[in-house]
Every structure is written in C-alpha cells, then in structure tokens.
Structure 1
C-alpha cells in the first residue's frame, strides 16, 4: 500500500503542479514581474548612488547582489517554476494521501470528491490562510523580518493550526476545547518588520508597489485555493481507485 500511495502522490503532484503553474501564469507571475521591474529600478539607482561615492551605513538600506543566479524570463523561468511546483505538489499530496488513508482506515472519512474538497479546504486554511494572517505573501522589494525567523514561524503556524483543526474535527468531548488555543498560539508572537513596507526612492513606485502587493495577496489566495481543492479531490479519487483495485485483486485471488 505504501508504494501505491507514493505512486498516487506522484500522479496527483504532477497534475496539480502543472495546473498550478498554468493558473499562476494568469495572475501571480505578471504581478511578480511588475514588482521585479520596480525592484530592478531601485537596484540600479543604488548602484549609481554608490558610484558617486556614497555608501550606506551599517543597518541602512539593503544590498542587491547582481551576480546572484536567477532563471531567465520566458521558457527557462516557466520550466523552473513548473518543476518547483510539481515537487512541492508531490510532497503535499503524499502528506494528504497518508492522512486521508489513515482516516479512511479508522472509518472517519469517506472517499468521495466532496470529502476530498473538505480535506483540501482544511489544508488550504492550515498551510496558506493561517500563515497569511500573520505574514501575508510578499512581492519583490518588500521590507520584512529575518528569513529564518519567518520560516520558523511559518512552520510553527502550520503545525499548530493543522493540529487544532484535527482536534476540532476528530476529537470528542472536552478535548475539543484545545482546538482554538492551538490555532491561536502562533499569533502570540509574529516576526513582523517595523518600518515602511517598501524602501524605494520614488514615491510613485511605492504607490505602484502597494497596489501590486495588495493584488498579489488576493491572486495568491485564489491560486492556492484552487490548488488545495484540486489536490484534495484528486487524492480522494486516487485512494478510492486504489482500494477498488486492491479489492478486485483480492477477489480474484480467493476465487
């Protein structure tokens, strides 16, 4: 069964990862490219500023490493985006398949598309909505807290909220009372950045980045919703097919 689950995760991951890439091309990617253009302008202005003999003091401004590798726009960028989406989708699909399989074995879940939608919606809330309440998605050029602290907070947030949802949906009796404290625990401390959201020399660019940032949050939310609902439904369908095939093989063996 383990091998079948891994194979199923690969199938679901490839399908949903490619679908996610296609949907991102409609809203997420154009927003990111527009923000990167403004960030490139800022970087060029800083380089020109430095060439005129001015340097930032310690703790002021920020540095863009022009030598850092990044995929070229166009086909190369699309391929790397698709690859990262597929790999992430395979991992998430494997986790959902294992959880849904355990729930089915314990008679706590039916393998139907509707139940798959519900599981996908719970995953969407735990992995995207809950972390986004504390740390919304960011476009290039956004000032933010340290990367390590944000990554650690995201992990704690996802685990805490997912556990709280599990307690709320599966626990019985007084144990359900632990659900809300668990889901609220990550917000006791959120590593937010104190200061302006954008450090840009042009006020017009800041206004444009603010609009792009707001749009990026919404398109990211809709894109992730589509992704997680698709993963939930396909995982339910794959598990249903796996159990039907196993039942057919068992009937043939005992015939």
Structure 2
C-alpha cells in the first residue's frame, strides 16, 4: 500500500508541479515582476507621466532599472519549478492518502473522481483561505504574519472537515455540520489592517488574484486526475 501511495503521489506531484510552474511563468510571474517595480519605486501608480505646468509642457519619463542578469533569472525560475514540484508532491501524498482511506471504505477512485478530489483540495487549500486572505502583490501591507498563518491553517482544516462531512455524510445533520465548518472561519473573519495601502494599481492586484487562483485550480485538477488515474491502474 505504501509503495502504491508513494508512486501515485510522486508522479502526480511532479506533473502538477511542472504544469503549475509553466502556467505561473506565463500568467503570474509577469505580474509579480511588475508588482516588484511598484514596490521598489521604479514605477508609481500615480506617476506614469508627469505634466509640467507652463507653455512648453513635456512628459517626464521615469527611468527604468536595468534588467537582472540572465543567471539570476534562470536561478529564480529554476527555484520556482523545484518548489512547485516539492510542494505539490507533498499535497499529492495527502491526497493519495485520502484515496487509500476512501478505497478501504469501498469507494472507487478513477481519473474523473480524482479530478473532483483535486478540486476539493483547491477549495480547501487555496480558494477558501483566499476568501479572507487573498493573494497579495509585493509591497502590500498586511496584518501580523502569525495571526494570518493561524487563520489560514484553521480555515484549511475547517474546510477539509466540512467538505468531508458533506461528501461522505449520509445524514442531513452531518451535511449541516459540514456547512457550519465551511462558514465558521469566515464568520470569525480573517485578520486585516484597518486601512488599504497597496502601492500597485488595484487593476494589477485584481488580475494577480484571479490569475493566481485560476492557475491553482488548473494545477489541482491535474494533480487529482493524474493521481486518480495512476491509483486506479494500480488497483485493478
């Protein structure tokens, strides 16, 4: 059983990590790099063009910082690929452990059902926490990191329990309890500052949030589908 769990998780984690990295390079990394320019002051939200009063009005161009060396860019991208593979392999181990538990209870895991498991993982790990603590661009002020970590962990655990009760509970009261678990962290509320002070344009921040969640959703679907397909092949 351990060998089956490990092999399914390893292949699924590597595949999902690679897909995640590629999608991030395409959709997310450019936004992060632009966000860093606002964080360092290379760009300003309100100073794209400065008009000087007088008869001869001329735009004042903001000097751009030189591009980082190629070696630094490659190292950064390589670290992104490696971290994605490591992180999603860890997620895959937890997901496949769930497969094993469900199989013991008589449920059949396939590629299609694996995708549903993957989407449930996306909801628990990223979508539900993002409803309170959304992905943030560099330079965005935030509440104390310890408080945010505690709320995030609590939300993830509560969401997993809630989804499990709704999916596998055979009584209405179990489903109602599951819904309560899903709602509880958001009723309590995530820790936030009492003001907004982001340095990047809100349009850029909104695009970053939507793309980050879209990439995560696609990656978790791949993770669950690949893991489910390998698990099903090994159990038939």
TM-score normalized with structure 2 length: 0.83
Q: Quote the offset at 1:82 in angstroms.
A: 0.7
Q: 2:169 maps to what in 1?
A: 171
Question: Helix, strand or coil: the match of 1:25?
Answer: helix
Partner of 2:118: 120
Runs of 4+ off more than 6 Å: none
Could you tell me which runs of 5 or more consecutive residues in structure 2 were left unpaired when the two chains were aligned.
Answer: 44-70
Q: Aligned partners of 1:103, 1:167: CA distance in 2, in Å?
A: 13
CA displacement 1:149-169 (0-9 Å, x = unmatched): 111111110110110010011
User: Deviation of residue 128 (structure 1)?
Assistant: 1.1
Q: CA separation in 2, counterparts of 1:197 and 1:104? A: 49
CA distance in 2, matches of 1:220, 1:211: 14
* Contact 2:11/2:227, CA 8 A, preserved across alignment: no
Q: Which residue number in structure 2 is paired with residue 2 of structure 1?
A: 2
Task: Name the SS for the 2:38 alignment partner.
Answer: helix
Match of 2:230 in 1: 238
Question: How many residue pairs were aligned?
Answer: 208
Q: Report the aligned-residue RMSD.
A: 1.8
2:213 corresponds in structure 1 to 221
Q: TM-score, normalised by structure 1?
A: 0.77
| CA apart distance, 1:228 | 0.6
**Aligned residue among 115, 119, 142 for 1:144:** 142
CA distances 1:118-169 after superposition (whole Å, capped 9, x unpaired): 1111111111111011111101011111111111111110110110010011
Structure 2: distance between partners of 1:148 and 1:73: 31
Distance 2:97 2:185 in 1: 25
Asked whether the equivalents of residues 164 and 183 of structure 1 are also in contact (C-alpha less than 8 Å), the reply is yes
The answer to whether the 8 Å contact 1:101/1:239 transfers is: no
Supply the distance in 1 between the matched residues of 2:140 and 2:234 (Cα, whole angstroms): 45
- Measure, in 2, the Cα distance between the counterparts of 1:99 and 1:213: 35
Contact 2:126 2:216 in 1 (8 A): yes
2:182 matched to which residue of 1? 183
**1:149 & 1:32 partners in 2: Cα distance?**
24
Structure 2 Cα separation of the partners of residues 144 and 20 of structure 1: 26
- Structure 1 spans left out of the alignment, 5+ residues: 44-71, 201-205, 245-255
Question: 2 CA distance for matches of 1:73 and 1:159?
Answer: 37
